[in-house]
Amino acid sequence: MKMTIGRFLIMRLQQMGIAHVFGVPGDFNLQLLEQFHEVEGIEFVGNCNELNASYAADGYARMNGVGALLTTYGVGDLSAVCGIAGACAEHVPVVFISGTPPLYAMEGRLRVHHSLAEGNFDNVRNCLKEFTVAFTRLTPYNAVEELDRTLLACWREKQPVYIQVPSNITYLEIDVPEHRLSLALPASDPERLESAAQRIAAMLAKAAHPVLLVDMDADRSAITSGLAALVKKCQMPYASFRTGKALLSEADPRFLGVFNGKASKPEVGEAVGHSDCLIATAPCYLEASPMVVPDGLPVESDVYIRGFSVTVQSEVYEGVTASELIARLLELVPPRTAATRPVVKPAALPAAIAGAALTHARLWPRMERFFRKNDIVIAENGTSAIAMTDVRLPEGASYIVQNIWGSIGYTLPALLGAQMAQPKRRSVLFIGDGSLQLTVQELSTILREKLKPIIFLINNSGYTIERYILGMHAKYNEIADWQYTKLPGVFAPDAKVLVASAGTEDELESVLAQADKADTACFIELRLDAFDAPQGLKSFGPVVAEMDYGPRGPQRKM
Amino acid sequence: MKMTIGRFLIMRLQQMGIAHVFGVPGDFNLQLLEQFHEVEGIEFVGNCNELNASYAADGYARMNGVGALLTTYGVGDLSAVCGIAGACAEHVPVVFISGTPPLYAMEGRLRVHHSLAEGNFDNVRNCLKEFTVAFTRLTPYNAVEELDRTLLACWREKQPVYIQVPSNITYLEIDVPEHRLSLALPASDPERLESAAQRIAAMLAKAAHPVLLVDMDADRSAITSGLAALVKKCQMPYASFRTGKALLSEADPRFLGVFNGKASKPEVGEAVGHSDCLIATAPCYLEASPMVVPDGLPVESDVYIRGFSVTVQSEVYEGVTASELIARLLELVPPRTAATRPVVKPAALPAAIAGAALTHARLWPRMERFFRKNDIVIAENGTSAIAMTDVRLPEGASYIVQNIWGSIGYTLPALLGAQMAQPKRRSVLFIGDGSLQLTVQELSTILREKLKPIIFLINNSGYTIERYILGMHAKYNEIADWQYTKLPGVFAPDAKVLVASAGTEDELESVLAQADKADTACFIELRLDAFDAPQGLKSFGPVVAEMDYGPRGPQRKM
């Protein structure tokens, strides 16, 4: 059938399940925006800038399965590259569409605006190539095959792809196939699948202390529900990486806690370290980092499950699709009825003390009790992410953190994306003042879209995570002191927003009570001392300094 | 002599004339920040995010001769790449320093945070390589040679360079040379210089209508004062490109106006087109663009002056340094006493009409009379830059526009950099609401640094430049309607700022009178109709649409 290239692109995005495309208009993509506007069921969400748009597309993809970003060539593409690299690092499938100069201008190497004006149209593509699993430049004679190839790479490999769409071809009609884009994952090689499953099942059957270690790829490979069934059938305890937090229930008695290398709670480190059958889903160890160091892991005997392969005791089985492997394992493993541990119910907290300055020691245990089933909890890098590590989330909760790439400011736009994907779930964000300043304008888009998240701004007057690494009292770790609570009124004067600020324990109780029953967006400043920090951060900082600066570094003089 | 690598880097930056380094702290650069802090005469200016920092470094470089940017690896580098690409496109020398993971981690390909955690440390460098003229990764055994090589490339070629500094080596001591970094430009080949100068001088002597066409490289090659002397001695009329605006005086009777291709004023297009000796300083034509199309230019007979070569009637003279060429030309050319045109004094404006809605037709002629000698005038891409094209600036004024790269949001951080470089000059910025939203938080840094610019926010409720290209009434060209005048109070509650808003002709007169005598920063919202635009923009839009979308594009349906 005949269809314009623009319409074909949009149809394919819809077939992947994309209903919102984030981005910023520019002359090279306006003609695509016209076509988005004409199609029901897909919406362009304009962001304040492209970096924010890329973070929003990432947050959307994490909650929707896949996301999309639309920019204009050069200026837009390169403003978004940090967010795309983050999606690449964290295995988040984002379709990055760039409206480029017209094809004749690129083929003729003309000097155009939004380029270096020297006829080079390879440089932007070369840059994005480093952080995507596939990239293409559409033409009228390759659009069908290239688009399908690229989109399938994104879907299967769960990483971003980059698609250049020249501005002068999107209204050209081409022949497009009748069939939908097939999202089914490739089937496994039967012998490899059966051999691997049998071997793992045998290991599980004879193991005294099997443990499952869950990381983000369990989500990307769509095996979290299969794994939940497996741990139930085998009565297998499990831990998660920080990047895999809450993919399996944290309210389950079999949940051990978050495995955080040397910084793990003793019972978690011990259970993982002493397992005689450790099954891990493509764990992402950060080696040169105090966050996760795989000390004492019985690596030799591990089962490592990746999307399309599995390693069992050092033998790699290629061509084994994770979801098929888990399904087969579920058939093979005998049920166990081992005694399970009781769910650890958090102890009652001491009552809030009126007038007592709010502390991290108080805040985070209190927040654990604030969360509800099915909340989407988002923690910004730094203080919030470190504090949240050991906070248990309720049943059905999702957790978003950008722990590997670690770009501060990521979470505010990511919240926008996550809520657009799942508007009926409550979203709760924790973000520091230093991080908020990077991407603050996206609060405007959140309120313009009439979303109702609860945003906790942790105001500790600067980069407290950096302070604990180096420069405790240095000027470079200080930032301007904004009147944060006025921001919603500036960005959306007509929006109904619960705005509050709390600096004491009783004020916290009061704002939490209000937020808990609010049917509006909430923007809540929590004022904490610049030098207060969660215990995890206090121990994290000096270890990072030693790793980063070595034995002649300035941390030795502090 | 012995010196730490960090101190050597700082010393070299100071020898280049850098007194301010823009950026954002991160664990991989804190040890460098400590060393910056220890040295007198150089200051780290913390920005709200890295893109803004890169724009600030660019603005600083334009007013200071060279600028510097400091980020942390990966997240910082890739957030700044759009600004670095802009500096590359516009020939702005920025030293981009990245604090990277420790050397052992990169050499050992360890999985670290702020990377893709797969051991690849080439990707970020490969990306920046596309937009810099030199790049390096310092080690204790290459630091002296690599640093000097890279910094000299930046200085001579007037484009950005990228320097990776591993976090664990900056406190190591190395042997460094006693001599300063020599900033002298390479001397010309004597024969080539003399031949070229003689030939050009002969052309000038017999030309009836010589014209000089000035573009940005005249500034980058440090020949503006030489050119000013030359046009005076030869009584030669001159025009500038938009990117070379105000490099030579616009208050001089020999100044023809801005050459803007087909969109030039008739007298400018005619003078340039009919010159029998057109001398141009490395003009940057935007070919596939209605902005500058070199229609009717006598390209065959041109003299093209670049930094280190000159083309005379199609013969390229390599190894000719521009400043030496101009100096020699000044000796060779005979003085002329041709009748000069009188300075065009702008006619008196009709009096402001009380209550009459402010229009672009009124605004820009009025602003022409607002500027003072030596102002730094900065115009954001879009409406402001197009409107400013034909506004004549007073003697000594400087003009900043990012016309080639055209990244909206550039100017607010660039203003910060420009004012830090030249704090005693008055800076006047024009920025649209759509552009402001991209980089708004840098207003916080401007006020924190106690600068006193005059910022005119052109509030026309969205992307008016895009509206004139496509989507005049489309939702995607609308943006959230902020309470802009509250921004200074949010970002700097204690700062003294003149905040005002004007929507009528008399209100404009009132705020201009206040701003003219204010000794504080001024933040002035000018409310204009969403569909009003300077005449240049109204004709620009449809031409861009035709170029971008071709003969089946949606602009044909409008």
Higher pLDDT among residues A464 and B359, named by residue: B359
CB contact under 8 A, B51 and A493: no
pLDDT at A337: 81
To which residue do tokens 């497009």 refer? A176
What token pair was written down for B464? 């008016």
Quick check: A413 and A442 in contact, CB under 8 A? yes
Residues A328-387: tens digit of each pLDDT: 999 999 998 866 566 667 788 989 999 999 999 999 999 999 999 999 999 999 999 999
For residue A300, pLDDT over 80 is answered with no
Burial class (CB in 10 A: 0-12, 13-18, 19+), A295: exposed
Q: One-letter amino acid identity for B78?
A: L
Is B554 inside a domain boundary? no
Active site annotation includes B20: no
Residues A190-243: tens digit of each pLDDT: 999 999 999 999 999 999 999 999 999 999 999 999 999 999 999 999 999 999
Got the DSSP string for A21-47? EEE---TTTHHHHHHHHHSTT-EEEE-
**Which of A31, A123, A476 has the CB atom closest to B44's CB atom?**
A476
Q: One-letter amino acid identity for A97?
A: I
Measured CA distances, B158 to A115, A297, B191, B398, B524 (Å): 17, 52, 26, 18, 34
Higher pLDDT among residues A249 and B262, named by residue: A249
pLDDT average, residue stretch B229-237: 95
Same domain, B155 and B227: no
pLDDT average, residue stretch A5-24: 98
Chosen domain end from B175, B206, B223: B175
pLDDT at A294: 55
Nearest Cα to Cα of residue B488 among B446, B427, B426: B446
Same domain, A98 and A170: yes
Mean of the per-residue pLDDT values of chain A: 94
pLDDT average, residue stretch B368-394: 96
pLDDT average, residue stretch A423-443: 97
Is B341 inside a domain boundary? no
Chain B residues near residue A115 by CB distance under 8 angstroms: 89
To which residue do tokens 């030039």 refer? B264
Residues B152-189: tens digit of each pLDDT: 999 999 999 999 999 999 999 999 999 999 999 999 99
pLDDT at A343: 65
A503 pLDDT band, cuts 50/70/90, is very high
Same domain, B321 and B374: no
pLDDT at B167: 97
Same domain, B307 and B436: no
- Distance, CA of A243 to CA of A228 (rounded, Å): 17
Sort residue B23 into left (φ over 0), alpha (ψ -120 to 50) or beta: left
CB contact under 8 A, A111 and B288: yes
Residues 6+ apart with CB under 8 A from A470: A545, A549, A554, A555, A558, B27, B30, B31, B33, B34
A399 pLDDT band, cuts 50/70/90, is very high
Question: What are B500's strand-pairing partners?
Answer: B524
Higher pLDDT among residues A430 and B302, named by residue: A430
Catalytic pick among A47, A52, A460, A477:
A460
Is B551 inside a domain boundary? no
Percentage of the residues of chain A whose pLDDT score is greater than 70: 96
B239 pLDDT band, cuts 50/70/90, is very high
| Cβ neighbours, 10 Å, residue A451 | 17
pLDDT average, residue stretch A117-121: 93
Residues 6+ apart with CB under 8 A from A118: A111
pLDDT average, residue stretch A505-532: 97
What token pair was written down for B272? 């340039």
Got the DSSP string for A126-167? HHHHTT-SEEEE--TTTHHHHHHHHHHHHHHHTS-EEEEEET
- Distance, CA of A81 to CA of A96 (rounded, Å): 10
Catalogue the E-assigned strands of B119-172.
Answer: 134-137, 161-166
pLDDT at B552: 85
Higher pLDDT among residues B543 and B64, named by residue: B64
Is A293 inside a domain boundary? yes
- Distance, CA of B30 to CA of B37 (rounded, Å): 10
Range of the domain at A283: 190-332
**Which of B:18-57 have CB within 8 Å of A?**
24-28, 30-31, 33-34, 37, 44, 46, 48-51
Quick check: A101 and A68 in contact, CB under 8 A? no
pLDDT at A263: 80
Is B549 inside a domain boundary? no
Burial class (CB in 10 A: 0-12, 13-18, 19+), A139: middle
Same domain, B522 and B471: yes
B244 pLDDT band, cuts 50/70/90, is very high
Q: How many domains does chain B have?
A: 3
Is B339 inside a domain boundary? no
How far apart are the CA of B440 and the nearest CA of chain A, in angstroms?
A: 8
Same domain, B163 and B273: no
Same domain, B156 and B36: yes
- Distance, CA of B299 to CA of A435 (rounded, Å): 52
pLDDT at B287: 72
Question: Which of B10-14, B140-144, B264-268, B319-323 shows the lowest mean pLDDT across its residues?
Answer: B264-268
Got the DSSP string for B492-508? -TTS-EEEEEE-BHHHH
- Distance, CA of B123 to CA of A216 (rounded, Å): 23
A281 secondary structure, DSSP code: E
pLDDT at A287: 73
| Cβ neighbours, 10 Å, residue A493 | 13
- Distance, CA of B274 to CA of B254 (rounded, Å): 16
pLDDT at A340: 57
Same domain, B48 and B98: yes
pLDDT average, residue stretch A489-516: 97
**Which of B37, B171, B549 has the CB atom closest to A474's CB atom?**
B37
Buried b / exposed e across B321-336, counting CB within 10 Å, b at 16+? bbebbbbbbbeebeee
**Which of B79, B406, B471 has the CB atom closest to A114's CB atom?**
B406
Active site annotation includes A302: no
Q: Is A479 on the interface with B (CB under 8 A)?
A: yes
Q: What share of chain A is helix, strand, coil (3-state, %, to 5)?
A: 40, 20, 40
pLDDT average, residue stretch B386-412: 96
pLDDT at B262: 77
**Which of B:59-88 have CB within 8 Å of A?**
74-75, 78-79, 81-82, 85-86, 88
**Which of B:286-345 have CB within 8 Å of A?**
286-289, 291
pLDDT average, residue stretch B481-487: 97
For residue B224, pLDDT over 70 is answered with yes
pLDDT at A557: 77
Is A459 inside a domain boundary? yes
Sort residue A324 into left (φ over 0), alpha (ψ -120 to 50) or beta: alpha
CA atoms within 13 A on the CB side of B205: 12
- CATH number for position A268: 3.40.50.1220
pLDDT average, residue stretch B399-415: 97
Nearest Cα to Cα of residue B464 among B380, B370, B401: B380
Burial class (CB in 10 A: 0-12, 13-18, 19+), B95: buried
pLDDT at A297: 54
How far apart are the CA of B330 and the nearest CA of chain A, in angstroms?
A: 31
pLDDT at B338: 66
**Which of B28, B31, B548 has the CB atom closest to A28's CB atom?**
B548
Nearest CA in chain A to B99: A548
pLDDT average, residue stretch A129-143: 98
Same domain, A40 and A74: yes
A519 secondary structure, DSSP code: S
A301 pLDDT band, cuts 50/70/90, is low
pLDDT at B374: 98
- CATH number for position B106: 3.40.50.970
Residues B3-46: tens digit of each pLDDT: 999 999 999 999 999 999 999 999 999 999 999 999 999 999 99
What token pair was written down for A177? 């196939």
Same domain, A163 and A259: no
Percentage of the residues of chain A whose pLDDT score is greater than 90: 85
Same domain, A228 and A274: yes
CA atoms within 13 A on the CB side of A230: 30
Is B239 inside a domain boundary? yes
Same domain, A276 and A411: no
- Distance, CA of B465 to CA of B434 (rounded, Å): 10
- Distance, CA of B377 to CA of B427 (rounded, Å): 6
pLDDT at A323: 97
Catalytic pick among A462, A471, A536, A541:
A462
Name the strand (E) or helix (H) holding B33.
helix B30-38
Higher pLDDT among residues A321 and A111, named by residue: A321
B274 pLDDT band, cuts 50/70/90, is confident
